[in-house]
Structure 1
Amino acid sequence: MLLREMKLPRLAYNWISGIGFIVAIITSILMTFLYIVGIFAKVTNPYLGIFLYMVLPPVLIGGLLLVPAGMIKTWYKFKKTGVESYPAWPYFDLNKKSHRNAALLFFIGSIFFLIITAIGGYEAFHYTESVTFCGKTCHSVMKPEYTAYQNSPHARVACVSCHVGPGADWYAKSKMSGLYQVYAVWADKYPRPIPTPIANLRPARETCEQCHWPEKFFGAQQKSFNHYMYDEENRHWPIEMLIKVGGGNPETGLTSGIHWHTFIANKIEYIARDERHQDIPWVRATNVKTGHQTVFQDVDNPLTNEEIDAAELRVFDCMDCHNRPSHIYNSPDHVVDEEIFTNRIDATLPAIKRISVEAMAKKYETEEDAWHGIANTINDFYIEEYPEIYEERRDAINEAILVVQDKYQQNIFPEMKVNWEEYPNNIGHFSNPGCMRCHEGNLRSKDGTAITRECRSCHTILAQGSDDRQMMAESMAGLDFVHPEDIDEAWKEMGCYECHDGTQP
């Protein structure tokens, strides 16, 4: 027996200590091997990290604890039975070779254990902070979030940079809240879809402004919106717009634009009627320097004093507009426009915009159902409506089908009931209320002043339309908006989102 050959203390020769010693040795070898594999093989499987940093360390510790546990049990046995004469208390004597061997083994083992613990603890910390751990461990639950994240502007920013941020306190809070999430996944008690906004999310100023600093931004950004009509020709209707993002330092007086809402010189508070903050009937603006406050109430459906006193008052921050900075689920209308503009979908196919959006927007039970349903919808359409086109341009139609299927898998997840409708995007006001939650014109102060609904306060149209209806701005004031369809003055009286819901209006 290995223990006997090493001439260890008599108490170590028992089956419990023997098992503990063997478990510790095997676990140490396995951990070392898997760690080397992880370094050189560049393995990103989440379960390898869980096994290496979360499962094996407790097994190693358990094996080590079995060694003294077995010795103590044997000592009690000797004392009780009197089979062998043994001192009343355990002792340690370096004059005995067996004790020296035990000390040497303990010393070497302790060093090895400390090294493994230090490396394992460090790697475990970083592993639980990794994108692989966040996105792949709970695959079915996090699949929508992980997929959307990979296609987002923040795809190279680690999840914890936004969801946790720097500091040990929020790290500990996130791990504590994660315990219930592990239980919910294990017991299949998680909601579908995952609700938002997340109540315990860290304040945006402590995370977003680690990279984005409104005081250092100033000016406007030019943005192109490429829309395609739902007609046979898929007419292109682009809008070139200057977005007045603004920024600047309030100490120098250079404050303007949309980021006025988050300047340290202003404090905007609001009350929402719903958990998603889509219905905002009460807003208070405070000038931090002067202390002057202005309260705006919904004149059509105001809150009572009792409701105001009982409501949760939220301070406006980045997340109130940028509520989908990474996990963006785009609508069929939006993604099909993008794919036509980038020529992944052939715009010369008649009515391809309309049928692509229709196929993508249908309700499917599973991704597999969607895969077949999209193909059948588009194929059947061209077979019935344009049989000659179907025969002559089948390759272009098949390519369009593959693109629509791909975009469906990136934005809609039927098993988790995730789509663009469940997670409204507050940037803009095209297919969701967004800005118009406050800027609809119905929030007024006591003196009758309304929160502005003027388009030019946030953006200037530089150009719009195409072909014979193309218009270019000739002054800094920009163009008045022109709707591609003749709807008279209706666009001035209602929000875009009231017709445009992500599918065909």
Structure 2
Amino acid sequence: MKKSQRPPKKYITSFYNTISLIGAYIAAGSFGVIILLILMDALSPHGTPYLGILTWIIMPVFLAIGLLLIPLGMWREHVKRLHGKGTRTLPKLDLNEPSHRRSAFFFLAVTSVLALFTALGTYRAFEFSESVTFCGQVCHTVMEPEFVAYKSSPHARVKCVSCHVGEGAEWFVRSKLSGVRQVYSVLFKKYSRPIPTPITSLRPARETCEKCHWPEKFYDKKQTERVHYMPDENNTRWYYNMLIKVGGTDLVTEHSLGIHWHINNKVEYIAIDDKRQVVPWVRITYKDGTSRVFTSEEETDGIDFDSMPKRVMDCMDCHNRPSHIFEAPQLVINKFLESGQIDRSLPMIKSTLVDLFEDIEELETTAAADSMIEQTVREFYAEEYPEISETRADKIEQAIEVAKRIYRRNYFPAMKANWKAYPNDIGHLTSVGCYRCHDGTHTSDDGEVISNDCNLCHVLIEQGDGVTVKEQDLNGLEFKHPEDIDEEWRETGCYDCHGE
């Protein structure tokens, strides 16, 4: 009795080996999972960054591995069969044989489909890696402070890569190579807390910021109103109205004025600290080619400026927190008092909250901060104002909730990020800012001084409590400190008190 013959193989015989079959199963399974994830992403009302990583970065790797295993197994099987025969070292493909023909057509069809999906997947992987979601949410703990601050910033509708990478292939490649190092740092917790700034490898501002902002354009004076509440029992309101001399260059006369004068002339400086907050040396090169060097009387002893690197001033030297802004609590509390979300009739509420934020800066968790906010505010009113504690309990609880919001927006204990870790160099109220150069101590060899005149950059046109006392003068008023500190405000930087 004859043995029953096996049915002919559907595909080329070398395909039927363990490695190729495993590769086929991995590839088919990965492809199916990718399709499923795409459908989930399309149908899900709430996207997640990790779904994008899984769909467009991780699963395609398994798909590629599976596809590579198929020809690897076939080649290994082919070599194995030819071992010792000494003939025909290359695989045989004969389209006259049905199994070979089916294999070839199947391979071409699958390759075409996979090539299409590979092109789509590659583009989607690139697009996803350039998205705000990828930058801000994938490395959740590390990037949480920057992402939270970004969402309520003036650049909230500008993609991260527009500023951090910009146009062109060179910086795109640099960013991806830098990203490999950052992935390693996150996986093995090698990152600093807080992330140090300024970032030395950041693309020059003239290649990114100036794609949208044009410093050579002349801007008129900008009116701005500032409201402060005093840390006294009545939370006394104090109001300023000023004109900021933004300036720039007049395109007709090519004459530079105002704050943007700095960008339209070549200004170089030397900072002796990593955060660029201490600037003892400044050189200005004017349009006519002449230059002048200013050095600080207080910080030049023993420093060899000739051997130190000099930085050309650009947008980022003043606008160092254009998107990731962490505000000082005393300034944020002013906003909530002015809007009525914190009841200004609660006695000592400004002082209580400001002191509270000083105490909770070093706490290690948000939960601990929430607990301390609740306990401190409730105990203060229960002990100092028991009647108000009972009759205005709802307003006290509202103030507590606002304080929690302020903490969550500006304090990130896991990364040790807050307004003190990241000083904002616009202005000079809570950080040295403008006073790095405009402190009245930087002088040149011919006796010229970098001015610290208040009216150089802004003109105060109104001030007072905004209710009963208000001074007005469009030609400019002399600054009046809301507290009687005599002439101390002339001799001491605002940040010495307000930045502590």
Tell me the distance in 1 between the aligned counterparts of 2:9 and 2:208.
Answer: 56
- Alignment of 1:445 onto 2:444: yes
Query: Which is further off, 308-317 or 463-472?
Result: 463-472
Q: Determine if contact 2:79/2:89 at 8 Å carries over to the other structure.
A: no
Q: Please, which of 476, 485, 489 is the counterpart of residue 478 of structure 1?
A: 476
- Alignment of 1:57 onto 2:60: yes
Letter of the structure 1 residue corresponding to residue 215 of structure 2: P
Aligned to 1:298: 296
Once the two structures are superposed, what CA deviation does each residue of 1:458-486 show, in whole Å capped at 9, x if it has no partner? 001111111566333234x2111001111
Tell me the distance in 2 between the aligned counterparts of 1:100 and 1:489.
Answer: 95
Tell me the distance in 1 between the aligned counterparts of 2:128 and 2:9.
Answer: 38
The offset of 1:392, in angstroms, is 0.2
Show the 5 A alignment for 1:149-164.
149-164=150-165
Show the 5 A alignment for 1:252-401.
252-263=253-264, 266-287=265-286, 289-302=287-300, 307-363=304-360, 364-401=363-400
Query: Which is further off, 367-376 or 109-118?
Result: 109-118
Aligned to 1:231: 232
Q: Number of residues paired by the alignment?
A: 492
The offset of 1:251, in angstroms, is 6.0
Aligned to 2:209: 208
Aligned to 1:188: 189
Once the two structures are superposed, what CA deviation does each residue of 1:100-129 show, in whole Å capped at 9, x if it has no partner? 111111111121111111111111111011
The offset of 1:439, in angstroms, is 0.1
Tell me the distance in 2 between the aligned counterparts of 1:468 and 1:396.
Answer: 24
The offset of 1:40, in angstroms, is 3.9
Q: Determine if contact 2:462/2:473 at 8 Å carries over to the other structure.
A: no
Query: Which is further off, 403-412 or 360-369?
Result: 360-369
The offset of 1:15, in angstroms, is 1.5
Secondary structure of residue in 2 paired with 1:355 = helix
Secondary structure of residue in 2 paired with 1:195 = coil
Letter of the structure 2 residue corresponding to residue 197 of structure 1: P
Aligned to 1:493: 491
Secondary structure of residue in 2 paired with 1:161 = helix
Aligned to 1:21: 24
Once the two structures are superposed, what CA deviation does each residue of 1:326-376 show, in whole Å capped at 9, x if it has no partner? 111111111111111111100010111011112222132211100100111
Tell me the distance in 2 between the aligned counterparts of 1:330 and 1:210.
Answer: 27
Q: Please, which of 24, 31, 35 is the counterpart of residue 34 of structure 2?
A: 31
Secondary structure of residue in 2 paired with 1:398 = helix
Q: Determine if contact 1:6/1:101 at 8 Å carries over to the other structure.
A: no
TM-score (norm 2): 0.95
Q: Determine if contact 1:153/1:325 at 8 Å carries over to the other structure.
A: yes
Aligned to 1:465: 464
C-alpha RMSD of matched pairs (Å): 1.7
Tell me the distance in 2 between the aligned counterparts of 1:140 and 1:55.
Answer: 21
Secondary structure of residue in 1 paired with 2:473 = coil
The offset of 1:55, in angstroms, is 0.6
Question: Residues 467 and 179 (structure 1 numbering): CA distance in 2 closer, same or farther, change over 3 Å?
Answer: closer
Question: Residues 473 and 483 (structure 1 numbering): CA distance in 2 closer, same or farther, change over 3 Å?
Answer: same
Tell me the distance in 1 between the aligned counterparts of 2:77 and 2:156.
Answer: 58
Q: Determine if contact 2:217/2:251 at 8 Å carries over to the other structure.
A: no
Q: Determine if contact 1:284/1:294 at 8 Å carries over to the other structure.
A: yes
Query: Which is further off, 374-383 or 486-495?
Result: 486-495
Once the two structures are superposed, what CA deviation does each residue of 1:374-425 show, in whole Å capped at 9, x if it has no partner? 1111001000000000000000000000000111011011221111111110
Question: Residues 296 and 469 (structure 1 numbering): CA distance in 2 closer, same or farther, change over 3 Å?
Answer: farther
Question: Residues 298 and 432 (structure 1 numbering): CA distance in 2 closer, same or farther, change over 3 Å?
Answer: same
The offset of 1:437, in angstroms, is 0.4
Tell me the distance in 2 between the aligned counterparts of 1:302 and 1:136.
Answer: 44
Q: Determine if contact 2:238/2:466 at 8 Å carries over to the other structure.
A: no
Q: Please, which of 32, 41, 44 is the counterpart of residue 41 of structure 1?
A: 44
Q: Determine if contact 1:382/1:390 at 8 Å carries over to the other structure.
A: yes
Show the 5 A alignment for 1:45-194.
45-80=48-83, 87-194=88-195
Aligned to 2:409: 410
Tell me the distance in 1 between the aligned counterparts of 2:218 and 2:472.
Answer: 25
Secondary structure of residue in 2 paired with 1:241 = strand
Q: Determine if contact 1:281/1:303 at 8 Å carries over to the other structure.
A: no
Tell me the distance in 2 between the aligned counterparts of 1:283 and 1:100.
Answer: 77
Tell me the distance in 1 between the aligned counterparts of 2:154 and 2:340.
Answer: 21
Once the two structures are superposed, what CA deviation does each residue of 1:313-332 show, in whole Å capped at 9, x if it has no partner? 10000000000111111111
Secondary structure of residue in 2 paired with 1:214 = coil
Q: Determine if contact 1:244/1:257 at 8 Å carries over to the other structure.
A: yes
Question: Residues 280 and 469 (structure 1 numbering): CA distance in 2 closer, same or farther, change over 3 Å?
Answer: farther
Letter of the structure 2 residue corresponding to residue 443 of structure 1: H
Query: Which is further off, 348-357 or 207-216?
Result: 207-216
Question: Residues 23 and 43 (structure 1 numbering): CA distance in 2 closer, same or farther, change over 3 Å?
Answer: farther
The offset of 1:250, in angstroms, is 5.5
The offset of 1:91, in angstroms, is 2.0
Tell me the distance in 2 between the aligned counterparts of 1:488 and 1:469.
Answer: 22
Q: Determine if contact 1:297/1:303 at 8 Å carries over to the other structure.
A: no
Aligned to 2:4: none
Secondary structure of residue in 1 paired with 2:460 = strand
- Return 5+ residue gaps in structure 2 as ranges: 1-6
Query: Which is further off, 39-48 or 337-346?
Result: 39-48
Secondary structure of residue in 2 paired with 1:223 = strand
Tell me the distance in 2 between the aligned counterparts of 1:355 and 1:32.
Answer: 56
Tell me the distance in 2 between the aligned counterparts of 1:471 and 1:192.
Answer: 45
The offset of 1:308, in angstroms, is 1.2
Tell me the distance in 2 between the aligned counterparts of 1:479 and 1:27.
Answer: 71
Letter of the structure 1 residue corresponding to residue 352 of structure 2: I
TM-score (norm 1): 0.94
